[in-house]
A and B are shown apart, each in its own frame.
Chain A
Amino acid sequence: MQVLTTDIIVVGGGGAGLRAAIAAAQIRPDARISLLSKVYPMRSHTVAAEGGAAAVTLAEDSLDAHFQDTVAGSDWLADQLVVEHFVKAAYQELVQLEHWGCPWSRKADGSIQVRRFGGMKTERTWFAADKTGFHILHTLFQTSLQYPAIQRLDEFFVLDLLVSEQQVLGVLALQLNSGELFQILAPKVILATGGAGRLFHYNTNGGIVTGDGMALAYRHGVALRDMEFVQYHPTGLPGSGILITEAARGEGGILLNKDGYRYLQDYGLGPETPLGQPKNKYMELGPRDKLSQAFWQQQQAGLTGDYQGHAVVYLDLRHLGAQKLAERLPFICELSRSYVNIDPVQQPIPIRPAVHYTMGGILTDLHGETSISGLYAIGECASVGLHGANRLGSNSLTELLVFGKAAGEHAAQSLPPTNTSQPTAANIQAQSRQLQLASLFGAKQQHSVASLRKAMTLAMEQGCGIYRDDAGMQQCRSTLLELQQQLAKLKVSDHSKVFNTELIQYLELSFGLDVALTICESALARKESRGAHQRLDPGLTQRNDQDFLQHTLAYRAADGRVALRYQPVRITSLPPAARVYGAAAKQGA
């Protein structure tokens, strides 16, 4: 086993990890910053974000308005102090990316163009055509290349955190192209490993989004917060789940059922807005949870169409015309033509909801630090408190930047002056993990990693989907527990060292099952409906602030089960109120 010593380890090379590494390198050009990822950084899933990044930009907009939209969007489960901090820091972070070369879309006079997004009352979403995440990721990756302090460890998979007495000591990682184990020692470890969308069968996420970082922290006693809140994006392609951005609706796209009816007006989002005149927070620009729930209602009522065996509704962009589609939504046109053989200029796109984002994650403070000293978490793997029960589209790309920077700076500023590494404690833990790893190999068996993984994703889809009930979640939980037992008995049949993808998938599934159980247990215990967590059980279909205006904290108990605790929600200035959109919001205002 090789041992490397460094100052800051960043695990994950997506938007948050890169932003943190750059921030640390700017403050401490003399430090050694190891950017470690299981893929090359530019493959990270930030690349697939399409729509944009939110920050108050127009004169008629205000920080308070962005704050209110985010808190109401979260169904009052966001940490209001965190939201206040976020909306203040957002604009300067997007300007910073502009200075690093991000090709933001522009108005005729050369100033920044902003677009509408769901749940936002004013246009405040910066975008780079419909490939915003791609451009943010490549801008950050290419910018990072000019900092010699940042040393990449590409295609390293983290097996475990090294921790002693609530202080992080480093990570244990597997180099994929050699199969060699590395103990990498550092007083600071920043987890930026992304979400866990791949736990579900239909999802918009890349194959790498398996919840690794969440499980790493959870196994060392850090709380996973608000895990029951999983966002379904209302517009994924049928079958694959490939994402069709919300910006398609921001530009004026409409949703139709099989009869060509704009059904959203029946679910508290109306009245119908005229074609070509999208209105913020009405109809198609309602928030994601409400839109996905409306799909489910239509499906129950038999009003959805069929695309190769998948229930679908239709996203109609035809009225935008070929020129605007080519200018504003070129990637959407390309995806639709390639993957469902539909030209959006000529025909509506069949779409259905697909899991997109995990609102919950590793509990952190405002700097991204966790309950383990020196261990940070940022981006989708973290729960800093921004999204509550439902994330608004375009808040998360900005989140990567604001909190990536905060964690990178905090870690760099608080580096210990002298070497504090505890090689002995780290080594004992690493040696024991090495033995465990060796015991995973064996002969081929009846079950495979792939078959267990599929069983998990189907169980999650069935039990923890758009609408949930007690019986379904109980069933999901017992399936997950059974799968954990089966996985423990399963052996990895590929004994090779170089790029052993079966081993990696085994480890990802082991992480994923831990995370799936926290989602299921947190959801079972939340006996109310809020944001993305909607229950069908009688008496639990409404929000219940009396009992549940609080965060769920999921801990790993000594016996391996999930133990739940609760944490009050920090409310600074916006007391809980009814969450309404469309005309109802206007009446309430």
Chain B
Amino acid sequence: MEKTIIIQRYNPEQDQAPSAERYQVPFDHSTSVLDALLYIQQQLDPTLAFRWSCRMAICGSCGVMVNKIPKLGCKTFLRDYPAELTISALDHFPIEKDLISDMAVFLDHLQAVKPYLINDSKNTEPHRQTPAQLKKYQKFSSCINCGLCYAACPQFGLNPEFLGPAAIVTAQRYNLDSRDQGKAQRMPQLNGKNGVWACTFVGFCADVCPKHLDPAAAVNQGKVASATDMLISIFKP
């Protein structure tokens, strides 16, 4: 059994713009999009460039558009698609080559929200944190930084300065952590014009998240936090 994989190829050293190439790939019930890409690279064309590593949906490397929907290549299976499928680099990021996107802006946004525990205690023993307190932020701590939510977000597509779903999720992850004292330092970013209020609540980010984190909910919680913040009058949309 074979399927046709159409890949948007782009080599900045010789191409003006991406163009489609077709490949025939054998598949069975367990063949993932990543397996198909590896087959093409190993058997048909060693110049095909894409990122991958863990093949178990935890390292976040292999995000691509599959039929225009952001997906992790390793967790998307050929069995679920018709005879042809189209694969391209993630939307909304500059393309470096073939399926490799430039993720620098994503990392800048992540860094901007101070994604670390801010707490000046000098205790040498662990903090106490009950399972209920852990649960408040646990889901938001599971972001694998794959960038699919940015490829899905129309606002980020229009304005790359928008912090975006994953960075806001991560800010909320720390804001909601009972051990953290840094919320006041993160709020200016979240309140700013490229923070939570730039989100128009399309919700596509939540649909594509491979870890089902519901970034849209984090953004909305961020809006509530922001609205209750004393800066509300300045940043009201």
Q: Which of A138, A243, A494 contacts B56 (CB 8 A)?
A: A243
Identify which of A37-45, A76-84, A273-281, A314-322 touches chain B: A37-45
Residues of B close to A134: CB separation below 8 A = 58, 142, 144
B46 and A450 form a contact (CB under 8 A) = yes
Instruction: Map CB proximity to B onto A91-108 as digits: 1 under 8 Å, 0 otherwise.
Output: 010010011110111111
Q: Give Cα A40–Cα B46 distance, bound, in whole angstroms.
A: 22
Minimum Cβ distance to chain A for residue B216 (Å)? 21
Q: Is B84 an interface residue (CB 8 A)?
A: no
Q: Give Cα A573–Cα B184 distance, bound, in whole angstroms.
A: 53
Q: Which of A51-100 contact B (CB under 8 A)?
A: 92, 95, 98-100
Q: Give Cα A451–Cα B46 distance, bound, in whole angstroms.
A: 11
**A146-B114 contact, Cβ under 8 Å, with A43-B61, A103-B141, A499-B96:** yes
B126 and A104 form a contact (CB under 8 A) = yes
Minimum Cβ distance to chain A for residue B137 (Å)? 7
Minimum Cβ distance to chain A for residue B205 (Å)? 19
Q: Give Cα A146–Cα B174 distance, bound, in whole angstroms.
A: 14
Q: Is B200 an interface residue (CB 8 A)?
A: no
Q: Which of A330-381 contact B (CB under 8 A)?
A: 331, 334-335, 338-341
**A135-B60 contact, Cβ under 8 Å, with A45-B53, A206-B53:** no
Question: Interface extent on A, as a size class?
Answer: 35 or more
Residues of A close to B215: CB separation below 8 A = none
Q: Give Cα A42–Cα B166 distance, bound, in whole angstroms.
A: 14
B96 and A40 form a contact (CB under 8 A) = no
A112 and B124 form a contact (CB under 8 A) = no
**A131-B58 contact, Cβ under 8 Å, with A111-B128, A207-B53, A499-B96:** yes
A108 and B96 form a contact (CB under 8 A) = no
Q: Is A434 an interface residue (CB 8 A)?
A: no
Q: Is B127 an interface residue (CB 8 A)?
A: yes
**A109-B11 contact, Cβ under 8 Å, with A100-B116, A131-B142, A145-B115:** no
A47 and B58 form a contact (CB under 8 A) = yes
Residues of A close to B123: CB separation below 8 A = 99
Q: Is A541 an interface residue (CB 8 A)?
A: no
A112 and B96 form a contact (CB under 8 A) = no
A502 and B46 form a contact (CB under 8 A) = yes
Residues of B close to A478: CB separation below 8 A = none
Which residue of chain B is the closest to A46 with respect to CB atoms? B59
Q: Which of B123-142 contact A (CB under 8 A)?
A: 123-131, 133-134, 137-138, 141-142
Minimum Cβ distance to chain A for residue B199 (Å)? 22
Which residue of chain A is the closest to B104 with respect to CB atoms? A154
Minimum Cβ distance to chain A for residue B124 (Å)? 7
Q: Which of A112, A207, A240, A502 contacts B126 (CB 8 A)?
A: A112
Instruction: Map CB proximity to A onto B96-134 as digits: 1 under 8 Å, 0 otherwise.
Output: 111010110001001100111101010111111111011
B61 and A501 form a contact (CB under 8 A) = no
A496 and B55 form a contact (CB under 8 A) = no
Residues of B close to A335: CB separation below 8 A = 56-57
B75 and A498 form a contact (CB under 8 A) = no
Q: Is A142 an interface residue (CB 8 A)?
A: yes
Q: Give Cα A101–Cα B102 distance, bound, in whole angstroms.
A: 28
Residues of B close to A105: CB separation below 8 A = 134
B13 and A45 form a contact (CB under 8 A) = no
Q: Is A110 an interface residue (CB 8 A)?
A: yes
Q: Is B42 an interface residue (CB 8 A)?
A: yes
Residues of A close to B57: CB separation below 8 A = 334-335, 338
B56 and A99 form a contact (CB under 8 A) = no
User: Which of B30, B41, B56 gathers the greatest number of chain A CB atoms within 10 Å?
Assistant: B56
Count chain B residues whose beta carbon lies closer than 8 angstroms to a beta carbon of A: 63
Q: Is A143 an interface residue (CB 8 A)?
A: yes
Residues of B close to A248: CB separation below 8 A = none
Q: Which of A408-463 contact B (CB under 8 A)?
A: 448-451
Q: Is B170 an interface residue (CB 8 A)?
A: yes
Q: Give Cα A135–Cα B11 distance, bound, in whole angstroms.
A: 35
Residues of A close to B127: CB separation below 8 A = 98-99, 110
Q: Which of B29, B54, B111 contacts A45 (CB 8 A)?
A: B54
Instruction: Map CB proximity to B onto A487-526 as digits: 1 under 8 Å, 0 otherwise.
Output: 0000001101111111001000000000000000000000
Q: Which of B46, B116, B119, B134 contacts A449 (CB 8 A)?
A: B46
Q: Which of A129, A135, A239 contacts B30 (CB 8 A)?
A: A239
**A108-B130 contact, Cβ under 8 Å, with A92-B124, A450-B41, A498-B13:** yes
Q: Is B91 an interface residue (CB 8 A)?
A: no
Q: Give Cα A522–Cα B102 distance, bound, in whole angstroms.
A: 43
Q: Is A242 an interface residue (CB 8 A)?
A: yes
Which residue of chain A is the closest to B96 with respect to CB atoms? A177
Q: Is A48 an interface residue (CB 8 A)?
A: yes
Which residue of chain B is the closest to A204 with respect to CB atoms? B56
Minimum Cβ distance to chain B for residue A46 (Å)? 10
Q: Give Cα A105–Cα B126 distance, bound, in whole angstroms.
A: 12
Residues of A close to B137: CB separation below 8 A = 103
Q: Give Cα A146–Cα B116 distance, bound, in whole angstroms.
A: 8
Q: Which of B52, B53, B116, B131 contacts A106 (CB 8 A)?
A: B131
Q: Give Cα A92–Cα B125 distance, bound, in whole angstroms.
A: 8
Q: Is A247 an interface residue (CB 8 A)?
A: no
Which residue of chain A is the closest to B145 with respect to CB atoms? A42
A43 and B96 form a contact (CB under 8 A) = no
Q: Is B67 an interface residue (CB 8 A)?
A: no
**A99-B117 contact, Cβ under 8 Å, with A47-B59, A207-B53, A499-B49:** yes
B75 and A338 form a contact (CB under 8 A) = yes
Q: Is B43 an interface residue (CB 8 A)?
A: yes
Which residue of chain A is the closest to B103 with respect to CB atoms? A40
**A501-B41 contact, Cβ under 8 Å, with A106-B134, A496-B47:** yes
Residues of B close to A498: CB separation below 8 A = 11-13, 49, 96-97
Q: Is A208 an interface residue (CB 8 A)?
A: yes
B131 and A95 form a contact (CB under 8 A) = no
Q: Which of A250-289 contact B (CB under 8 A)?
A: none
**A111-B177 contact, Cβ under 8 Å, with A335-B56, A450-B46:** no
A339 and B47 form a contact (CB under 8 A) = no
Minimum Cβ distance to chain B for residue A8 (Å)? 21
B59 and A43 form a contact (CB under 8 A) = yes
Instruction: Map CB proximity to A onto B52-91 as digits: 1 under 8 Å, 0 otherwise.
Output: 1111111111000000000000010000000000000000
Which 8 residue pairs of A and B lie closest in terms of their CB atoms, listed nearest first?
A110-B128, A101-B117, A450-B42, A206-B53, A502-B46, A206-B54, A142-B115, A499-B49
- Can you spell out 14 A-B residue pairs with CB atoms less than 8 angstroms apart? A43-B59, A47-B59, A99-B126, A103-B138, A106-B134, A108-B130, A131-B142, A177-B96, A177-B100, A206-B53, A335-B57, A339-B30, A494-B47, A499-B100
